[in-house]
Amino acid sequence: MLRCIFVGSPNRFTALMAHWLSKHTDLCGTVWTSSAHWPGSLAGRLGFASKRLKRYGLLKTADEALYYTLFKTVLRGAGENVQNRLVELYVRDYERPTWAGDSTHTSDINSPEVIDFVRQRSPDLIMSMCINEFFKRKLRGTPRLGAFLWHEGLVPEYKGLYSPFWAIHNGQPNMLGYTVLRMNERYDEGEVYLQGQVRDIDPRRDSPVFIGHKAILDSLPAVAKLLGELESGTAEPISVKNREAATYTYPGFSDWVRLRRQVRRMKYNPLREPELGSPLHAKDL
């Protein structure tokens, strides 16, 4: 059984993934990163806004801030109801999570302390999700097989952040799904080992946050198979060449307005979609 380290932002959903990995790997530790927890304090929000202002200017930053406020106060897209639905789905197909193994917390995934934590456990691979930090070469190179990312979207078409949001915004519900890739020196551009579509969702009803996490749940049988192939040395990446690439960032209020218009026009019937949840290759897209 592969020795694995899990890296993620601490929340109820990533706790499910840590539990699942403990049943399919020798999970020898978890690294919980607070890098995505900037909204948790006024100082964090102000610091984040300052960085966005310098990079994107006042108009886009204000647009993003307005959407964030709407998301947290009215839409509640990542709220308790969404988390409860995801936990219920996981418990239905697996079991109630109980894993509470060795872990460390960090605000810098590439810190010497994290490198030491990983090195001391001699893992075969890192599995990660719900992160917004870049894994530097030293961290990626510590496990024998490298560091793998569970991405809530299909790449190269939907690299970056909020992939489900942007797929709906662009009128492409068939591009709602997951990717498992091995990280390299560029964001979301490593070797792709798995891709699949999400099952049993409706963009007219389900929030993008729920859809993205549901895609990860739907990936689990295929990921279990991939872990076996990685252990036996038979895993091979799939080709994503000659597909249009795009990278997305945080949405703004104006983007949400366009998304809602798209949803109202959408005629989406999950039962008429292709066989969902199965691994995809370039020819399927």
Here the CATH number for the domain that contains residue 214 is 3.40.50.12230
The mean predicted confidence, pLDDT, of the chain is 88
Contact in structure between 187 and 203 (CB atoms under 8 Å): no
Contact in structure between 239 and 213 (CB atoms under 8 Å): no
**Backbone phi, psi, residue 104, to 5°:** -140, 155
Q: Which of 117, 116, 92, 94 is nearest to 31 (CA)?
A: 117
List the structure tokens of 248. Answer: 């997305």
Residue ranges making up the domain that contains 69:
3-284
pLDDT digits (tens, 9 = 90+) for 150-192: 999 999 999 999 999 999 999 999 999 999 999 999 988 999 9
Distance from chain centroid for Cα 21: 15
- Which segments of the chain have a pLDDT < 50? 271-285
pLDDT at 269: 54
pLDDT at 277: 36
pLDDT at 132: 83
The number of distinct structural domains making up the chain is 1
pLDDT at 42: 67
Q: The tokens 């998301």 sit on which residue?
A: 71
pLDDT at 55: 85
- Measured at the alpha carbon of residue 270, what is the angle toward residues 265 and 275, in degrees to the nearest 5? 135
Q: Which of 192, 205, 182 is nearest to 245 (CA)?
A: 192
Distance from chain centroid for Cα 178: 8
pLDDT digits (tens, 9 = 90+) for 209-238: 999 999 999 999 999 999 999 999 999 999
